[in-house]
Amino acid sequence: MKMNWGTGLALAIAAFAVFILSFVYKTFTNDKYDHHLVSEEYYKDEVNFQQELDALTNAKKLNELVVLKNTGQGILITFPSDLSTKNIEGTIDFQRASDIKLDFNLPIKLTNNTLLIPTEKLAKGLYNVKINWKVDTTVYLFKDKYTY
């Protein structure tokens, strides 16, 4: 068989197509590359978008913002000191975009204006942090990307 530029070009295109298709096949069949939505209830979350915007606005109106800080024991979350800690109720959600198995949420239970997320619950990396809390009838929301 005689090799010319047309045959070489056809072989190169075929080899490239096989190369790309092998990656597509590996991505869809390997459990390591788990494909999932950030939220299983995407449409329900979308309906509540205006309440979320209002809660974000309420949090920005406070004298102090929520502060997250890495410590030796984990992540220390500091709530605004002008809020009454006995009236705060809500949840803290940590989501890892890279692995849904590392997602967790905790109820907010404060004795002072700080809350410690222990190291045992955390893995090194980037988290989407969402803190929903309510004081009396006012709802607040804090959202941030945070690296532990």
Q: pLDDT higher for 60 or 44?
A: 60
Q: In 3-state terms, what secondary structure has residue 54?
A: helix
pLDDT band at residue 41, thresholds of 50, 70 and 90? confident
Sort residue 136 into left (φ over 0), alpha (ψ -120 to 50) or beta. left
Q: H-type helices in 41-109, by residue range? A: 42-47, 49-60
- pLDDT for 43 equals 74
Which of 31-35, 52-56, 117-121 shows the lowest mean pLDDT across its residues? 31-35
List the chain domain ranges: 1-35, 42-147
**Does residue 135 have a pLDDT over 70?**
yes
Instruction: Label residue 92 exposed, middle or buried (CB < 10 Å: 0-12, 13-18, 19+).
Output: buried
**Does residue 15 have a pLDDT over 90?**
yes
E strands within the chain?
A: 67-70, 74-78, 88-95, 104-107, 114-118, 126-135, 138-147
- What is the rounded CA–CA span in Å between residue 127 and residue 147? 6
Mean pLDDT (whole number) for 32-37: 62
**Does residue 1 have a pLDDT over 70?**
no
**Does residue 37 have a pLDDT over 60?**
no
- What is the rounded CA–CA span in Å between residue 84 and residue 110? 10
Q: Of 11-20, 82-91, 97-106, 131-140, which one has max mean pLDDT?
A: 11-20
What share of the chain has pLDDT > 90, as a percent?
43
Show the tokens assigned to 129. 């942090």
Q: Residue 3: how many CB atoms within 10 A of its CB?
A: 8
- pLDDT for 56 equals 92
> The domain 42-147: what is its CATH number?
2.60.40.10
Mean pLDDT, the chain, whole residue set: 87
